[in-house]
Structure formats: structure tokens, C-alpha cells
Amino acid sequence: MSGQGGIVQEEVKIGVVGGSGYTGIELLRLLLRHPAVRLQAVTSRHEAGQAVSARYGNLTGQIDLTFVEPELSVLTACDLVFFATPNGVAMQLAPDLLAAGVRVIDLAADFRLRDPAVWEQWYGMAHACPELLTEAVYGLPELSRPAIQQARLVANPGCYPTAVSLALLPLVSEHVVDLQRVIADCKSGVSGAGRSTNANLLMGEVSESFKAYSVTGHRHLPEISQTLAAVNETAVQLTFVPHLVPMIRGIHATVYAPLVTTLDDLQTCFTDYYAAEPFVQVLPPGSHPETRCVRGANQCQIAVHQPQPAGPIIVLSVIDNLVKGAAGQAVQNMNLMLGLPEEMGLQQIALLP
Amino acid sequence: MSGQGGIVQEEVKIGVVGGSGYTGIELLRLLLRHPAVRLQAVTSRHEAGQAVSARYGNLTGQIDLTFVEPELSVLTACDLVFFATPNGVAMQLAPDLLAAGVRVIDLAADFRLRDPAVWEQWYGMAHACPELLTEAVYGLPELSRPAIQQARLVANPGCYPTAVSLALLPLVSEHVVDLQRVIADCKSGVSGAGRSTNANLLMGEVSESFKAYSVTGHRHLPEISQTLAAVNETAVQLTFVPHLVPMIRGIHATVYAPLVTTLDDLQTCFTDYYAAEPFVQVLPPGSHPETRCVRGANQCQIAVHQPQPAGPIIVLSVIDNLVKGAAGQAVQNMNLMLGLPEEMGLQQIALLP
Amino acid sequence: MSGQGGIVQEEVKIGVVGGSGYTGIELLRLLLRHPAVRLQAVTSRHEAGQAVSARYGNLTGQIDLTFVEPELSVLTACDLVFFATPNGVAMQLAPDLLAAGVRVIDLAADFRLRDPAVWEQWYGMAHACPELLTEAVYGLPELSRPAIQQARLVANPGCYPTAVSLALLPLVSEHVVDLQRVIADCKSGVSGAGRSTNANLLMGEVSESFKAYSVTGHRHLPEISQTLAAVNETAVQLTFVPHLVPMIRGIHATVYAPLVTTLDDLQTCFTDYYAAEPFVQVLPPGSHPETRCVRGANQCQIAVHQPQPAGPIIVLSVIDNLVKGAAGQAVQNMNLMLGLPEEMGLQQIALLP
Amino acid sequence: MSGQGGIVQEEVKIGVVGGSGYTGIELLRLLLRHPAVRLQAVTSRHEAGQAVSARYGNLTGQIDLTFVEPELSVLTACDLVFFATPNGVAMQLAPDLLAAGVRVIDLAADFRLRDPAVWEQWYGMAHACPELLTEAVYGLPELSRPAIQQARLVANPGCYPTAVSLALLPLVSEHVVDLQRVIADCKSGVSGAGRSTNANLLMGEVSESFKAYSVTGHRHLPEISQTLAAVNETAVQLTFVPHLVPMIRGIHATVYAPLVTTLDDLQTCFTDYYAAEPFVQVLPPGSHPETRCVRGANQCQIAVHQPQPAGPIIVLSVIDNLVKGAAGQAVQNMNLMLGLPEEMGLQQIALLP
């Protein structure tokens, strides 16, 4: 592929490793309509030999590929490879792909934490290529756009970290938040857990109910802390509690941020920070974002409140966990890495109702 | 507007009357991304003066128009006007619009029944322009594509009639069905009832429950009967029972069609009939269509079974009631009326999960 | 146990085999509040050694038993044993239990079909004790109350067969239905599939969607046919299509019954037939039963329509698949077998909303 | 009525004002099965003259009363009257009822706040009988059982305040919490908003979505603050954010309580405090309560965590908003006021799944 001033002359060849899960299918939905790329290979160990279109009914008639094994020779024929795999897979293949000149975007957690010791602590395995952790760019465009544009290897952020980080970036970059006392109370639809064979995610178990989970410690905690600490150059003591909502898509972060100083204009702090961002929308004062307003769209909608003068700032932030929280953000990163217009292929309006 | 071989040289100016309901918002979602049209006016009596983008959160930042009153002068400035209004509104304005050279697509029922007496019986009011009922084309492209291409006035089919008619057309056109004994057991998500202030549609009332409704007689019964009778040139005695499903979008029709003769190859009857159709997909034998597989897409997915030799043919047909059952089919009709490629602006892949 | 005129003098000792699934937990909910019985043993191979109260959060503090292995010595210490197990388990243990004087109620399908050949055809295994099939009483009290009262072994009906049979009994007992052309279009909540580790039942897969399943043939078809054929002493050609509803509990049967003769008073046919039944409620003419109105209750609510003179009778019937469709009906059968008041322990009012 | 050692000799005559809403129907469900009371009158202005059993399908065949107007003469014939009405109704009738010797339990907010000025500020109307505010007992039995037993007038707590107060009482009574910095992030099912004709509560609007509401100030904030301040005899600065969950029943409170001192044994603090309470269950360490586990039951389930030594205590608390959060707690209060066993009529096991 080569581009000139944003003009793409050839289609980029794309590989998707792990194309049979929810994140994979969402990547396919976006990539199949992306005007500048072509799906070259979609892999799935379990589904190899099956038509990709047979895996999910929404792909009927949309794609001619067959799932293949994730072999290196298949993937090195691509210009860019997405990993929509469980944690621990991308780190096995990424070094060889990079060596072959293939760019890599990992939608799992393999390259999100910069400290291999922290990674091993939270993910329970040794890292296969710790030397790549410093090269890997954390793919939150609103935070690190220039680095992503230059990156060979991008760690696509987790869904909760995306929602929480976008909620806090304007305040944290102003150094007005007491980062020892921030609380992120987060709520996610069930697709966040993937299409795993887990009786605890049966509709009979999770519909018509609400619960917290992983209160004792969730892997997205060190990821969020790392981002906030880097911005503010300070230690962070974050409380993060995820909850399971009886719906399929959507994350809602309710972030409580005590201030260490006064802030002149809360709303302006946010609207200024995100003024040029295509995928973050700051709602008018007094708003309450709804997850359905971003369903299927690569958008984050944010509202900010301070109901009591002595109380914390309350930031409400919603994303579709499979889009801005996963596949959509990955395509956004791809666009940046390839020099394509950042919004290309990502202009879907959310499906409402 | 003028087109040459499918090349559109100017954007078509579009009006949407009744843009604040579920069908209206879905029309906006599709039209805002349609490459050959431009929204000229969106009307809403209740919302006049308000920003359209403020009505539904998914339109934030997507549209600059303000709702206006549905005045004739506003609408005659359009090339084509959609009515996404309650029954009885379009028939008040359509004659003047047609006289002014504006094409009209009514998504309500005003022009669906050819016999004004039948219309009055089922809709409880006198028809305002019965002389247009014969000119109006019933906008089911799979049945009447040539007539739609020439039409000034299109009656967009009801959601249930779309699902049931598409399920039966291949069989009925072969004259093999006993049309005195067809049963259409249909199920719809709650968005089919619109965004009306009706306590019976509260989530507390309809979620986690299932019921039939209008068993004594539903307005879509004469509409389906009219379509089938016209194809088969025979009287029709149809049993039609709609049910309410605790979900937002989707219609599933389960149609039981007793045969009057044998049929050599049931599957081929369907695949042949729909071979060239872009928006009807006949699934492989043994399939069970799921409404989620067409959510947000202008698709109808169909499977056909005959589980017992002496029993009826069973046709399973799914659509998104707001897309192929309303706004999407309306855009499909618009494309046909305007000489645009039929699939233009309608290639969204369904949102799954 | 001995009873005198409905006065129970000792608690009956009850065993539940397979107490860890949805049917088992529902049995425990009912039996723990039943004034005349005492839970003696609850078995579960997978959960043996675990506290029963730890299995499901609604049992916290409600029961002191520990799951045990389903050994014969444990079960022969009971007066009556329920099997809430997969098909094929009860038939292994029932002969020995009956020989030991223990009464048995099987909530699975082992004893529902009288013809072992038909059973093997539909359930794919040889029957372990075909000699018991004629002794076993099909436990639909509204059909066979006297036999149940005398039974040692009761086959608790399937959920769909309960809803469909109750919908048809009044008409079929009058010999007015054309049993060659009955159609039962049935809809069930997801708990009907049990708490199985099946990715196809994840909330991400089945919520916000609707589909038919097993259209080519479902095991409840021969069960319903057997019941109707026995009542009417005629051959039956039934069409039965089950569908999956995105809700947890509830079955709605929409039954289309063409008449072979005229019927003087349709409504009276039903109200007379069920006049003395405590657990079947015939709703007023024009009604549409809702599954939520029987949620958690051992009730069947029925409405009957004939919208078109030449068309079929339409019977709408709702039950909670886990109560009147499983555990509640099993307790009703237990009451009859033990000479207890039939309504004892079954008077819960449905949970609405 | 008189009781001796728990033996009730006559049934207490009960009135329910406002019996047609969700709270009213839930009261009827409980009172119809309560062994010591008899429903004397159920009022509803809108439904007067209609059979109560016709209002909700779960009451079919369960109750013979007809809705009547809420006239004083009707209500003074009762021993105790529940108000399941909008705010502002009970305060109009309570003085006359009390004067006539009728005890009163208000499930709305009229008597919850002790300071009439605060009441007027939050409820936007002058209080009709401020002189009763000091007599009224706040009906949280776990906090004020002796006073309730003596009360003529009980203010039944709000749903959120019940969940949050029960989460905090053990800690606050130990004076270990920094009450200037407590955050209560709460989530409620849609039935909390009642059966109001509100398009914003349509299933099409709230299902498959999640949002916060009333972040700028919710009426339950002063109610919770008043309770905590009274226990701790200190000023309280609480942050309270409610959210709407796409489910019907259930409240989940996630309470973040920073400590002002160390606490030896967090779990024991809770288990000791609630050791004798029949309707509060402290789950084992590491637990995550689920709202479904208390659906339909008068239970509060609580788990307590301190995931990080320097971070706040996190208390998770679930109730059914219509039971322990409204009707069930009202019956519990009634039992206390009447000298009946506190658990009478409240021993339903939650409906799961």
C-alpha cells in the first residue's frame, strides 16, 4: 500500500487472528465496509475450514473467506494483522510478524502494561516478549495520536480503561484531581465477557439481575492507573468496581473525582479538551449519557457534573464496549497507522432504538 | 436531480414528515449516510423549533436541521417527501405534493389498501383522496419493482405484511398453496408500536413477558390478503395472529402454508424466486432465522421447512421491523423511484451481537 | 405418613434427584414452604459435598442440607422421590425405588411415552424398564386425576405438552376438532433449556432476538399427539413449532384448531370444562393471556377466540414453564398421590411486574 | 384484634389507598396471603368501580374487592391503612385517620423527613401536617424496631435509602466512616419509577441501555443523610448517584465508605450487627450479591470488601425495590405495629431464575 496525502491507491491487506469471537465479528463488520482495506485472512483454530459467513448470521452473503489456522505464512502475507484473541496469544506471534514488516494491533491485553512484572502479576503468565512492551504504543488516540501514527505495534486499550480514561483525561491533564481518591464505578453489558462457554453468562443467569464482580481486583485497574499516572506524573490510588448489566452492548463509567483545587469552568474544561476529537462528544451541562446512543458507533459520549460544591466531580461516560471499547478503536488506530483519514469506515450512526 | 447510468449529479432534496418517532429517526439514520440525497426538511408538530439532533442521542453532532411545522411550502421545496406519520396524515398532504411535482412515500397505511371501503372499515375514517388509491403503488420491490420505478406515490408496506408476503410469494406465485387455510403466526419487538405514551408498553409491563394481541382482527390482515389475492387471483382466507416479543427490534413470521398439490423442490422454489434479490436471503435447508441477524439491516432472511409429508409448508421469515419493515424499505423504494442503484445507502451489516 | 381427611400427621420424607438445575431449584423453592413435607435428601453428582444453599443465592439461609450422590440407600429412605434429571436417569433407578415402596415422580421424559419404540426413536436410547411404561401415569391432573391419586410412578408432563394439552382438552373431549390439521405455535423463555453450559444460550446470543428451533421435529410432538389421540380415540397429525423468547420464564402456546363441526358456545365449552379446576383459569372473551401473569405460580391461563367464522379456533394458553410446566405440576401430582389437598403449597400469587 | 403469644384471634382489617400502582399490587400480593389480616378496602381514584382482580392478571381469581374512592368513611373502618400513593396524598388523610384510631403506614415520602423545610425544598409543596413529622417513625426495623412497635404512623423508607442505609449501618454505628466522603452509586430496575404513563420508560427507550439520572439531586439524598446523621450524630456530606438498569425489579447499591480509623474485622462488624435480623443476610467474604437472589423476597443481601488497604470500604447491597424497598418492608412494619411475628407473611423464597 502507498498513500499520498491521504489518498489510498491500493487496498491494504488485513489479517484477523481470532475472528470467531464477539470482538472478531465486530472487526469484520467494520472492515468489510471499510473503503481502503481488504480482508486477506481470518483465522480461528476452532472454526478452521468453515466459511466465515456461516459463523454469524449477520455475515450471510457478506464474505467469501474460510477460517484458516493462524499460521505465520498466512499472516505475513498481510500488511496489518489484528489480534482478537484471548490474552497471551498475540505475544507469541507479534515478534515474527513485526520482523516480517507486518504491523500489529492487539485487541487483547498483551501489550497494554509497560512493566512486565505488573503484567505477570495480573495475567498469571510470563510475558513472551517483554522487550516489545516499551515499543508498543497504547492505542488511545485522544491521548497518543502522534505515537500511534508512527507505531508498528499498538496495544488496543481495554473497554473499561477507554471509558474511564476518556472521562478523566481533561481533568487529569489539568492536574486538578486528587488521584489518591478517584472512584470509577463501571457497568458493562454482557458482550464484554465474550462468547465463552460459561454457564454464569447464560441468559437465565444474568438477565433481569444486576451484580458487581471482581471487586477484589480486576485486570483493568493497573491499566487505568498506568494511563492516569503517566499523564499526571504522580502515583495513583484508584478504586475500580465493575458491574454486569443485563444488556448486550455498552459500558457506562461513573467516575467520582475529588478536586485538589478549584476549577473555573468544568464544562469548558471538557469541551476544550475534546473540541477537535471526532469520536468524543461532550454533552451539554445537566446531561445523562445513555449507552444506547452509542450502540454500534465508535463514539464516547461524556457529561460532567458537580452537584455539590464540596463534593467530587462526577463524570459520566458511555461507549459501546465492542466499538470504541474494542473493534472500532482498533480500526481508528489502523487508520492512524496507515495514514488514512481517522474517521474512514467509522461513521456509522448508533442504532436507536 | 438528474442521473445518467446511475451516476447522480446533484443531491436529491428530501423531506421527512413526522421525523420524531421511531420510524422517522430510523429514516434519518439511513438518509444522513445516503450518498445521493440531502435532508432538506424534517417536520414534527410537537418538536417544531427544536434541534433534530436533540431529539435522540444518537444524532448528536450528525444533523444541523431544526424541526419545522409540516407546511406545504416547506415540503414542495423537496424532490421527494417521506411520511413517517400516524395513519391519516399523508392523505391530507399527498394530493398537493403530487400536484407540485413532489414524489411521495408514505410509511403509514393511507395508500396501502386499494379499496376505500375496506380502508375505512379497518382504519375508522373516511379516506381523504380515494382517487389516489389506484395510482399508489404498493412498495414491495420484490413484487412490484417496475411499477415502483415509475411511481409518483408509493405506499410503503406494513412490517408484518412485508415479512409474511416475502415468506409466501415464491409459493403463491406457483399457485401451490391452499389460500383458504394459511396461518401467519407473527411476533414483533416493541418498537413496532412506536414511541407512543402508552403505559401498556412500559418496560415494566412488557419485558419478561409474552402475549398475543389483536387476535380478533389486526389492520395488517386485509393488507396481506390483498397482496396474496392479487398474486394468485383468488380469494384468500388468512388467519393472522400478532404477538409482542420482549425485545426492541425484529419481526419473526412463522407461516403455515398447506399445499394443494405437490412441489418438486421446496428449497429451489425459494432460491430461484429470490436469486436476484439483494435484500432477501434464503438460508440453507434446516435453518432457523434469527431476528438479530438482520438487526439494523435492510434484509429479510427466510428458511423453509416441511417437517411432515402430510403437513403444511412452514416458512420462517425475519426482518428488522424498522428497516426492511419500514425505513429501509422506504429508502429502497426511493432509490427505485429516483433511478439510483437499489442498494445505495442500504448496505449496513446487521449489528450482532 | 398417614392422613385423615386431609390432616397430615407426619411430614412426608422427600428426595430430589438432580437438585442443582433450574427444575431442581424450583422444586426446592416449593417444597421448602410446603407444610406437609420435609426434604430428606437432595442429590447432585457434580455438587456432592457442597451446601445446597450455596448453589443458588435465593436459598441462602433456607436449607441446611448438603448435596449427596444419588445412591439407592439414600433414596430408599424417602417416601417419595422426584427426578429433576436429564432424560434417561430416572429409568435407571425407578424400578428399585418402586420395589422399595418409594413413590416416584419423574420430571424428565423417561415415562411420558407409552410405546417404547416411539420413545427410543425420539430419545435415541433403549428404554431401561419398558415394563413400567404402562404402569406410569401421565401426570396431567386435569386429564387423569383419579389415576394419579393411585399411582406409584408418575410421568410429569413436558412444559409444551402441558400448555398445548390444556389449550385443547375442552375441544378435543367434545370431538369437534379436526385433529389432522391442528397447529401449535409455541414460544418459551430460555429457562426451558435448563442451566446447561451451552454457548447458544448465552445472553449475548439469545437476548434481543427471536427464533424458531427444532422445526424439523421436537420431542414434545409425540407426547402431545399421544395425549390428544387418547382423548379423541383417533389418529393425530399435529404441527408443532417451538420458538425461543428472550425472557427467562414462561410458555405461550398459540393453538390453531380447525373445527369439523359447529360449536354452540365456545367460551362455555372452556369455562365448563375447567369450572372445578384450581389451576386453570379461563379468561373472559377477547382476552390475551400474558406469561407474566403466571410467573412463579402454578397456573395456566387460557383465552379462546374464533376471529373469523370460517377460520380455526385460536386458543391462547400461558404457563410458567418451571411451575405448571415442571416443578409446580410435580408438587400438584405429589399432593394427589399422597392424599393431600391438591392446592397445598401451591398458592403463590404470580410475581408481577 | 388481639394476640396472645403470637396467636392471632381476629383478622386485622386493612385498607390500601392507591392499590393500582406497582407498589399497591405488590402490597396486595403479600397481604392476600398474610394469615392474620384481611383486606377491607382498596382504593383507586382512576379505577373506582372496577374489580381489583381485573387490574393485573396475576390477581385473577384471587380477590373479590372492587376499587373504591379513597373516602374517609371507608378508611376509618380499617384498623390500619397503607398509602401506596404519590407523594402528597397521605399527608392529606393521615391526621383524620390517626384521630379515628387508625394506624397509618405511608409508602410515599410524606413523613420521611423530619424537617418540614427540607421536605418542602425537595418535594416542592408545603407540608399539610408538619406537626406529625416528629411523631412519625421512620420505618427501618433494623434501625428503629422498638419505636415502630409503638408507632401510630410509620414512614416507610424509600427504596434507595433502604439499600444504602442497611449497607452503612454497621460501619456508621461504629463511628469509623468519614461521612464527609461517602459515595453511594446506586442502580435500580425500572419498576422503581412506577406504572406511570411516561414515554421515557417505554421498553423501546430503556431496554438494552444504561444511564444515570438525577445526578444534580435526587430526593432520596436528604433521606439517607438524615438517617446517617442521626446514627452518627454528625453532619453528613453524601454523594448519591442513581442509575436505571434495564430490568424490572431490583436495587443494587455500591457504597464507597472511606474509614477514619482502622477496623479490626470488617466481616464480623457486619455479621454481628445483623446476627439477629431475619431480613438481612451478610454473605461470605468475597461475595457479590445479585439482585435476582432477592427477587420477590423481603431480603437484603450484603457483601463487604476492602480490596486495597488504603482505599475505601466497599459495601454491596441488594434488595427487591418493591419488597424490602417498599411493600415487603411495609408489611414488616405492620407486623411490628400489630404485635405479630415480624416474619409473618414474608417468608417467600426469591424467584430464581
Note the pLDDT tens digit of each residue in A210-220: 999 999 999 99
Q: Residue C2 pLDDT > 80, yes or no?
A: no
Residue B193 and residue B110 share a domain: no
Give me chain B's average pLDDT, please: 95
Cβ C203–A206 below 8 Å, yes or no? yes
Helix, strand, coil percentages in chain D from 3-state DSSP, rounded to 5: 35, 20, 45
Residue B135 and residue B20 share a domain: yes
Residues in chain B, total:
353
CA D127 to each of CA A130, C296, D112: distance values in angstroms, whole numbers, following the listed order:
68, 41, 12
Residue C123 and residue C31 share a domain: yes
Query: Cα separation of D177 and B341, whole Å?
Result: 67
Confidence of residue C233 (pLDDT cuts 50, 70, 90): confident
Q: Residue B131 pLDDT > 80, yes or no?
A: yes
**Prediction ipTM score:** 0.96
Q: What is the DSSP letter of B35?
A: T
Sheet holding B37-43, edge to edge: B37-43, B12-17, B80-83, B103-106, B153-155, B137-138
Q: Hey, what's the cell of D101?
A: 384510631
Helix, strand, or coil here: D156?
A: coil
Put residue C233 in one of left, alpha, beta given phi > 0 → left and psi -120 to 50 → alpha. left
Q: Hey, what's the cell of C201?
A: 444460550
Does some domain include residue D11?
yes
Is A289's Cβ below 8 Å from some Cβ in D? yes
In degrees rounded to 5, what are phi and psi of residue D204?
Answer: -60, -20
Q: Residue D5 pLDDT > 70, yes or no?
A: no
Per annotation, catalytic residue among C78, C129, C159, C300:
C159
Residue with cell 487496498: A11
Note the pLDDT tens digit of each residue in A8-41: 457 999 999 998 899 999 999 999 999 999 999 9
Confidence of residue C4 (pLDDT cuts 50, 70, 90): very low
- Residue numbers in chain A where pLDDT is lower than 70: 1-9
Note the pLDDT tens digit of each residue in C197-225: 889 999 999 999 999 999 999 999 999 99
Residue C23 and residue C172 share a domain: no
Query: Cα separation of D71 and D100, whole Å?
Result: 13
- C282, amino acid identity: V
Q: Residue D264 pLDDT > 90, yes or no?
A: no
Residues of A in contact with C203 (CB under 8 A): 190, 201-203, 205-207, 246, 248
pLDDT at D1: 38
Confidence of residue D159 (pLDDT cuts 50, 70, 90): very high
Q: Hey, what's the cell of D111?
A: 413523613
Confidence of residue C9 (pLDDT cuts 50, 70, 90): low
Residue C209 and residue C169 share a domain: yes
Q: Hey, what's the cell of D327?
A: 411493600
Sign of CA dihedral B71, B74, B77, B83: negative
- Mean pLDDT confidence for B284-312: 97
Query: Cα separation of C143 and B174, whole Å?
Result: 44
Per annotation, catalytic residue among A129, A159, A186, A269:
A159
Residue A185 and residue A90 share a domain: no
Residue of C nearest to D60 (CA): C281
Residue A199 and residue A123 share a domain: no
Note the pLDDT tens digit of each residue in B181-218: 999 999 999 999 999 888 999 999 999 999 999 999 99
Does some domain include residue C169?
yes
pLDDT at C351: 98
Residue of A nearest to D187 (CA): A210
List subunits contacting chain A, requiring 3 or more Cβ pairs under 8 Å. Answer: B, C, D
| Test mutation, C55, C56, C58, chain D, max D CBs within 10 A | C58
Residue B314 and residue B171 share a domain: yes
Sign of CA dihedral D206, D209, D215, D221: positive
Give me chain D's average pLDDT, please: 95
Q: Residue B73 pLDDT > 90, yes or no?
A: yes
Under 8 Å between Cβ of D228 and D143: no
Q: What is the DSSP letter of B22?
A: H
Structural domain harbouring D90:
3-135
Cis peptide before A353 (omega within 30 of 0): yes
Does some domain include residue A348?
no
Residue C186 among the catalytic residues = no
Residue of B nearest to A34 (CA): B348
- A169, amino acid identity: L
- Mean pLDDT confidence for C153-182: 97
Q: Whose CA is closest to B67, among B84, B82, B55, B76?
A: B55
Under 8 Å between Cβ of D106 and D35: no
Residue of A nearest to D204 (CA): A353
Query: Cα separation of D3 and C329, whole Å?
Result: 37
Is A7's Cβ below 8 Å from some Cβ in C? no
CATH assignment of the domain containing A243: 3.30.360.10
pLDDT at B3: 39
Residue with cell 505515537: A147
Residue D123 and residue D179 share a domain: no
Residues of B in contact with A195 (CB under 8 A): 353
Does some domain include residue D306?
yes
CATH assignment of the domain containing B44: 3.40.50.720
| C59, C191, C348: residue with CB nearest D353 | C191
CA A176 to each of CA A180, A289, A305, B28: distance values in angstroms, whole numbers, following the listed order:
12, 24, 15, 41
Cβ C209–B237 below 8 Å, yes or no? no
Cβ D239–A250 below 8 Å, yes or no? no
Shortest CA gap B261–chain C (Å): 16
Number of domains in chain A: 2
- Mean pLDDT confidence for D13-27: 95
Does some domain include residue C260?
yes
CA C16 to each of CA C98, C327, D348: distance values in angstroms, whole numbers, following the listed order:
15, 11, 20
What percentage of chain B carries pLDDT values higher than 90? 93
Note the pLDDT tens digit of each residue in B7-59: 445 799 999 999 889 999 999 999 999 999 999 999 999 999 999 999 999 99
- A119, amino acid identity: W
Residue A225 and residue A293 share a domain: yes
Q: What is the DSSP letter of B11?
A: P
Q: Whose CA is closest to D308, among A239, A228, A179, A223?
A: A239
Q: Where are the alpha helices (DSSP H) in D52-176?
A: 72-75, 90-99, 116-123, 141-150, 159-173
Does some domain include residue C334?
no
Query: Cα separation of D46 and A20, whole Å?
Result: 54
- D229, amino acid identity: A
Residues of D in contact with A235 (CB under 8 A): none
Query: Cα separation of A295 and A315, whole Å?
Result: 20
Residue D218 and residue D112 share a domain: no
Does some domain include residue B345?
no
Helix, strand, or coil here: A264?
A: coil
Residues of A in contact with B191 (CB under 8 A): 353
Residue with cell 489539568: A174
Residue B166 and residue B150 share a domain: no
Does some domain include residue B351?
no
Residues of D in contact with C295 (CB under 8 A): 58, 351
Sign of CA dihedral B48, B53, B57, B58: positive
Is A190's Cβ below 8 Å from some Cβ in C? yes
